[in-house]
Structure formats: C-alpha cells, structure tokens
C-alpha cells in the first residue's frame, strides 16, 4: 500500500485530501508544519509527498529542497499560489506536479495515482528485460546514455543520473518514439498521465530539469511549434 505524506496547515483541506487518498487504498501521514515533515525523511519514508507551500515552519519549497537532497521520491505541490513564477519554481525544485487551489480532490487522487504508476509504486509496472544504450553524434562518437527500464535507472558514461518519476517517464516516451517528434499534448497525456489541458509550461519545466541532469540539450531537442525529439542514436 503506497504511503502518502500530506503537508497542509488547513485542517479541513488536509483531512478531506487524506480521506480521498485513503478511499483510494493509500496509507496517509498528515503534517501541519514543514518541520514535522523532516521527521519522515528516513529510509522508510513516504512513497509520495503532497506539499502546501505557505505553512508554519519550513515552507513547502524548503521542504522540497530537503527531500530532493536525499531522494527522488515523487512530490506534488498543492497550493493557493497560482502565479507562473511559483509554479515554475516548484517544478524546477523537482516536483512531479503542481496543483492549485481550489482543486478537485478526485483529480488530485488521479494525479497521485498516475505519478505512482510512473514511479512503479503501485505494482503495475511491467518490467522490460534489458537496458538500452544511446549515443550522441553516432555510435561511439559521443557520450553514451544507458536506460534500464527494469531497474528504472539511467547512467551517462557509467555515472548514475538520478531522475524523478516524471523525468524518467518523459525520457522513456521521447526515446521510444525516436527519431520521430513527440507533440507537447501527446507528451503530457502519455508521459504525465493526464489530460493535455494542463499548461504546456509544466511539461517544458520538466524537460528543462531533465536536460540539466543529462548535461546536453541535444539528448532532448526542441522542434519549434510542435514538441520534442530524442537526439540519441541506439547502439548495440
């Protein structure tokens, strides 16, 4: 049973979200302040965090930084801060999703479930059997990216690259369609797991994070006016 931690200082909202998540067969830990969350960051911590931003003690953004310094466990921001700057800040901190208030608890549960599927946290992942290797500039002529679908690991020239569940799924979808181009709306639906009415800027922010971790924007190329294309070439 996936374990979800909710950071929310509004008791009514926190209890409502917790109830919906429990009805969806999740174990829930409730926290009312940022400082409380830090007590749950050990080896047996939650499978996903739902964080408000403006809370007593450490802010949700500060908590997200602390989480990301230790692991790539999924993070969803649930906040009244609906300005673009806050949204992009949250995603650039490594959040998998950013939901603004007012919100639908049912939609939040759907998004949480989609993220857990991407992370393999609900037991529905169907593993593949072998890692795939890609090179930039042709086989043997550039850095080599190794993607292992079974272990959900990525390495660049043998050095592990730590991706969030969302970044992993984005890379997986774009690479699977190479050398074709993946439209933004298709990428949102296939990789992020929900309807393409969400802002494309969210997908762009995840791509920015992915590129930074891969160290070269050519791994994920932008096709202006359409979407993205994987720049690597499969090697044996």
Rounded distance between C-alpha atoms, residue 214 and residue 58, angstroms: 30
Rounded distance between C-alpha atoms, residue 16 and residue 155, angstroms: 40
Q: Which residues, 6+ apart, have CB-to-CB distance to 199 below 8 Å?
A: 87
Q: Is the dihedral of CA 187, 192, 195, 200 positive or negative?
A: negative
Task: Name all domains of the chain by residue range, CATH numbers in brackets.
Answer: 3-119 (3.40.50.2300), 132-235 (1.10.10.10)
Helix (H) or strand (E) holding 232, with range, is none
Note the pLDDT of residue 228.
92
The pLDDT tens digits for 140-183 are: 567 889 988 877 789 998 899 988 888 888 898 898 888 899 98
Note the pLDDT of residue 200.
58
Note the pLDDT of residue 191.
74
Q: Has residue 46 got a pLDDT over 50?
A: yes
* Mean per-residue pLDDT, 64-85: 91
Q: How confident is the model at residue 2 (pLDDT cuts 50, 70, 90)?
A: very high
Q: Has residue 127 got a pLDDT over 60?
A: no
Note the pLDDT of residue 125.
42
Residue 94 backbone zone (phi > 0: left; psi -120 to 50: alpha; other: beta): left
């Amino acid at each position: 049973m996936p374990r979800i931690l909710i950071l929310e200082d509004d008791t009514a909202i926190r209890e409502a979200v917790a109830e919906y998540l429990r009805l969806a067969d999740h174990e829930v830990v409730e926290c009312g302040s940022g400082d409380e969350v830090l007590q749950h960051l050990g080896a047996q911590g939650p499978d996903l965090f739902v964080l408000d931003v403006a809370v007593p003690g450490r802010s949700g953004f500060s908590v997200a930084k602390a989480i990301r310094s230790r692991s790539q466990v999924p993070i969803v921001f649930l906040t009244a801060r609906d300005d673009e700057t806050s949204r992009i800040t949250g995603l650039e901190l490594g959040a998998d999703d950013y939901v603004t208030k007012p919100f639908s608890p049912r939609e939040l549960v759907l998004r949480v479930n989609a993220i857990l599927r991407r992370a393999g946290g609900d037991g529905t992942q169907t593993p593949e059997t072998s890692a795939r290797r890609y090179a930039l500039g042709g086989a043997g002529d550039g850095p080599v990216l190794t993607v292992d679908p079974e272990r959900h690991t990525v390495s660049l020239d043998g050095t592990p690259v730590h991706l969030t569940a969302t970044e992993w799924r984005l890379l997986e979808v774009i690479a699977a369609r190479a050398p074709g181009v993946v439209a933004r709306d298709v990428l949102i639906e296939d990789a992020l797991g929900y309807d393409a009415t969400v802002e494309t800027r969210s997908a762009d922010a995840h791509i920015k994070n992915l590129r930074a971790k891969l160290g070269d924007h050519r791994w994920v190329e932008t096709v202006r006016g359409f979407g993205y294309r994987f720049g690597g070439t499969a090697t044996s």
